[in-house]
Amino acid sequence: MTDKLIKGLIRNKKVRVYLCKTTDLCELARVKHDLWPTSLAALGRVLSVTAILGGMLKNDDEKVTVHINGNGPIGTIMTDGYKDGHVRGFVGDPHLMLVDNHTNKLAVGVIVGKDGYLRVIKDTGLKDDFAGTVKLISGEIGEDFAYYFTVSEQIPTAVSVGVLVDEKNSVIAAGALVIQMMPDANEDDIVYSEELIKDIGSISQQILNQQDVSKLAIKLFKDIEILEETELSFRCDCSLEKMYSALITLSSKDIQDMIDQDHGCEIVCQYCNKKYYFNEDKLKEIIVEKAVNNR
Ligand SMILES: [Zn+2]
């Protein structure tokens, strides 16, 4: 079953729901970054909510970036989401494996930490891009995003997100659920939604049991009016041209040093680990191009 995001309305259009399955894209992120289970769960959770944030964008050329740092061992978590359903991202330390002794669950909150922030930046191509920052509540990601939506975007929101990893460390189910109150929602709608979230329980377990997310949406929300379905994927839009544009911003002296010391340079895309190699001749070309541009 392909990864998919479902956008819909329940409770006579007074409550908006976003439900996504992200199993395959989390598994691809694991392979690309060689993620160990707890790092995988952390990045997978952020990627899943990022996919939903991407689905909230208005136009195809917009992008949303999530930046989390809670001063925990994982360091920074960065993700990008796009309206067309693709996401990408990375974490500072991909090799963390830590289980909570009491719950036997992956200790995401511990490796992320909570002495820090969650920032969401919407790149709309305009000068005044939207950016909202909140402090982290627990580092468990779901709660932190719920707090972000409620405080920064002022939309009462519940978030449930999860990544299930098997004993071979592969992702067997991942996904997220975001429930938001529309402006005309009343107390009954809020109570109803709170109960619903409780009944649904673990979203990754629900996805494990029903991998067809359209069917799952109908099962979980009997009265859902589906507005949009978008396929999701992990994809990075890095390219040789983009790496070239980055290289050319370095000083000619720095580039000359690469020629003298290493006879070339390798650039690794931090979002997808793809390697780009520039040999000595290519670097010499860049120096010439810089000289021409500066003339
Ligand atoms: Zn890349």
The model's pLDDT over 167-206, given as tens digits with 9 standing for 90+, comes to: 889 999 999 999 999 999 999 999 999 999 999 999 999 9
Tell me, in angstroms, the distance from the centre of ligand 1 to residue 268's CA.
8
Q: What are phi and psi of 264, to 5 degrees?
A: 155, 180
Query: What is the rounded end-to-end Cα distance, in angstroms, of the chain?
Result: 56
Tell me, in angstroms, the distance from the centre of ligand 1 to residue 242's CA.
10
Mean pLDDT of 245-265: 92
pTM: 0.94
Helices (H), the chain: 23-33, 37-55, 108-112, 142-151, 187-200, 203-209, 213-220, 240-247, 252-262, 280-294
Where are the CATH 3.55.30.10 domain residues in the chain?
4-234
pLDDT of 163 above 90:
yes
Pairwise CA distance, residues 226 & 6, whole Å: 7
| All residues at 6 or more sequence positions from 80 whose CB lies less than 8 Å from its CB, including other chains | 50, 63, 64, 65, 66, 87, 88, 89, 271
Tell me, in angstroms, the distance from the centre of ligand 1 to residue 280's CA.
23
Predicted pLDDT of residue 38:
97
Mean pLDDT of 17-24: 98
For residue 265, the cross-strand partners are 278
4-234 folds as Hsp33 domain (3.55.30)
pLDDT of 127 above 90:
no
Asked if 48 contacts 177 with a C-beta cutoff of 8 angstroms, the reply is no
Tell me, in angstroms, the distance from the centre of ligand 1 to residue 79's CA.
12
Tell me, in angstroms, the distance from the centre of ligand 1 to residue 273's CA.
6
Asked if 265 contacts 281 with a C-beta cutoff of 8 angstroms, the reply is no
pLDDT of 8 above 80:
yes
Tell me, in angstroms, the distance from the centre of ligand 1 to residue 78's CA.
13
Q: To which residue do tokens 């939604």 refer?
A: 193
Which candidate, 219, 206, 177, 147, places its Cα nearest to that of 16?
177
> How much is the mean pLDDT over the chain?
95
Question: 33 pLDDT band (50/70/90 cuts)?
Answer: very high
Secondary structure (3-state) at 203: helix
Pairwise CA distance, residues 108 & 96, whole Å: 10
Where are the CATH 3.90.1280.10 domain residues in the chain?
240-290
For residue 130, the cross-strand partners are 122
CATH of domain 240-290: 3.90.1280.10
Q: Tokens at residue 276, please? A: 């780009």
Q: Tokens at residue 196, please? A: 């619903």
